[in-house]
Structure 1
Amino acid sequence: MTDDVVPDTEHRGLVERLPQLPRDLAQLARFDRPIGWWLLFWPCAWGVWLAGAGWQLALLGWLLLGSIAMRGAGCVYNDIVDAELDRKVARTASRPVASGRVSRRTAWIWLLALCLAGLVVLLQLRMPAQLVALASLVLVAAYPFMKRITWWPQAWLGMVFTWGLLVGWTELRLDNWDALAAMYAGAALWVIGYDTIYALQDREDDALVGIRSSALRLGGAVRGGVAAFYTGALALWALAFWLYRGDWLAVLTLLPAALHLAWQVATLDADDPNNPLARFRSNRFAGGLVAAACFVTGNAGVG
């Protein structure tokens, strides 16, 4: 593996074959780590499918493209802001901006190009959904600074990474706000849980350079903390389904996701260098299971 390809890339062979600059830009936008856009996309699908308008495949395709572009843009922005901190953490020191392989000017140009792709997606939406999507930019801009001022930057990420739920819903309907609010709150707790698992990889370096995280704050109680966040997420999702349909069978559609999240907690090993990353990545399947539950609940009896 070349020195500038990060250890946790999911497409090592493909990335290594790219010329240097395209390779750096792909890494800068995390195209080699699709778990991020899966986690951004699934809440979009939840909002679309729970709204009860059927498959909506064209809309989901646009939202998937938007998730890839805007997740990439967010990563580029984060790396520009965090370049100095990234140099001090072993896992992030080889990132393109932190290592100096990509200049800040080039990174800003790449950020603009990704935002333009996001704009194309935005223009496909109705005005209410456009306004909701634009409102997320304030949260996105503030996120990189949260790790400097709070032990719970994961809570801020929970608001940011689940915003697509609101976009997907408001594209199709403008009612049932109580169910939507419960679904969004549960999604935020889910993010806090899985990002706490992700932060376990950097605990030692974060403590040395002064970066704050929920993994450090929870200390030896990480497993219990993640269990609490996941339990809260499932409870709020069950409440959302109940408020939406008032049907216990709808609530039971969450059982596969509940079992998967329980497996994550039961098998989490904070001392194994590979275990937290694998459990974190498994949330692409958790998100898919919740999406299936949303589709069944939202579309049961439709047509």
Structure 2
Amino acid sequence: MSPVSPPADTIVPDSEARGLVARLPALPRNLALLARFDRPIGWWLLFWPGAWAIALCGKALERWDLLLWFLIGSIAMRGAGCVYNDIVDRDLDAQVARTASRPLASGAVSVRTAWIWLVTLCLIGLVVLLQLRWQAELVALGSLVLVAAYPFMKRITGFPQAWLGLVFAWAAPVAWTQMTGAMTLPGALLYAGAVLWVIGYDTIYAIQDIEDDALVGIGSSARTLGRKVRPGVAAFYVGAIALWAAAFWAVVPHWLTFVALTPMAAHLLWQVGTLREDGVDPLAKFRSNRFAGLLMFGACIVVGGL
């Protein structure tokens, strides 16, 4: 199969390469694109589960410094994950229209430069790691195996989004352990719900690539579900809501905990109910999960304060 080579100035559909990033000199701009700094949605989605855990412990305001550290860590480690993913996937990316213009796939950045950039981002992540208690540090380090294996999952399974769920929700057990000293039932339920949330929204995201993924021969939950994508996403979201409700109840056994979760539940059900499987709406619905994360954060603040 011959690589797809869109014009150099093409902005891929899921990119926000404009503003400051677009004005950077060539190398810094390509490094920013490699780490997806032009697409903040990724680090928001990585950050929210950790913020939820801090808020559910009733410390959202008191530990604003920890929220800031988790945000910095999310930006750095999401960037590092993207760089690593692109190093592994550079040949596949060159064959997919949406990803062919990525810096490594297009040849704008060398593999050596990408590795140096990856190490730099990991060092920033190390600074954040050192701010945590030792128990949380061990939990955080446990994610490295999951992160390293993720780029290969699409080659060996039809449901790589399940693995991504384990990775992208990992901030929840790290933050919960940081706040409580151990991984207890509410934290485990919060994490499990976040995993299903990630699987749901990334299945929506994968709708964009169904045809290209089929041509290249890689798996995705959208391909696996086929015509059942909408009920599949609905099932993941309903499961997430149920697990979060159980987590809230484990913290505060009061009916108001379910009321606090209602806005988040309504938003997720809106995503499913209005989802259109075209070239535009899946990306819009995927991006709306940044707001969904904020709704869940508000719910955790309410329950943590009861």
Give the structure-1-normalised TM-score: 0.96
What amino acid is the match of 2:146?
Answer: L
C-alpha contact (below 8 Å) 1:43/1:163 kept by paired residues: yes
1:54 Cα shift? Answer: 4.2
Q: How does 1:154-303 map to 2 (within 5 A)?
A: 154-174=161-181, 177-270=184-277, 272-300=278-306
SS at match of 1:33: coil
SS at match of 1:203: helix
> What residue is the counterpart of 1:143 in the other structure?
150
Moved over 6 A (4+): none
> What residue is the counterpart of 1:47 in the other structure?
53
Q: How does 1:22-171 map to 2 (within 5 A)?
A: 22-55=28-61, 56-171=63-178
1:246 Cα shift? Answer: 1.0
**Distance in 2 between residues matched to 1:108 and 1:54, nearest whole Å:** 36
**Distance in 1 between residues matched to 2:284 and 2:222, nearest whole Å:** 16
> What residue is the counterpart of 2:25 in the other structure?
19
Q: Which runs of 5+ in 2 are unaligned?
A: 1-6
Distance 1:247 1:263, change over 3 A: same
C-alpha contact (below 8 Å) 1:15/1:32 kept by paired residues: yes
**Distance in 2 between residues matched to 1:2 and 1:144, nearest whole Å:** 25
> What residue is the counterpart of 2:4 in the other structure?
none
**Distance in 1 between residues matched to 2:131 and 2:68, nearest whole Å:** 11
Q: Which runs of 5+ in 1 are unaligned?
A: none
**Distance in 1 between residues matched to 2:177 and 2:19, nearest whole Å:** 40
**Distance in 2 between residues matched to 1:185 and 1:176, nearest whole Å:** 12
1:263 Cα shift? Answer: 0.9
1:160 Cα shift? Answer: 0.3
1:174 Cα shift? Answer: 3.0
Higher mean alpha-carbon deviation, 27-36 vs 13-22, is at 13-22
**Distance in 2 between residues matched to 1:249 and 1:65, nearest whole Å:** 33
1:52 Cα shift? Answer: 2.1
What amino acid is the match of 1:241?
Answer: F
1:172 Cα shift? Answer: 1.2
> What residue is the counterpart of 2:3 in the other structure?
none
**Distance in 1 between residues matched to 2:36 and 2:15, nearest whole Å:** 8
Distance 1:141 1:176, change over 3 A: closer
**Distance in 1 between residues matched to 2:255 and 2:103, nearest whole Å:** 50
**Distance in 2 between residues matched to 1:241 and 1:275, nearest whole Å:** 32
C-alpha contact (below 8 Å) 2:173/2:183 kept by paired residues: no
C-alpha contact (below 8 Å) 2:77/2:122 kept by paired residues: yes
Residues 106-156 of structure 1: CA deviation (Å, up to 9, x unaligned): 000000000010011111111111111111101000000000011110000
Residues 29-71 of structure 1: CA deviation (Å, up to 9, x unaligned): 0000000000000001011111223421101001000000000
1:3 Cα shift? Answer: 2.1
SS at match of 1:128: helix
Distance 1:111 1:175, change over 3 A: closer
C-alpha contact (below 8 Å) 1:4/1:95 kept by paired residues: no
**Distance in 2 between residues matched to 1:149 and 1:11, nearest whole Å:** 32
C-alpha contact (below 8 Å) 1:230/1:261 kept by paired residues: yes
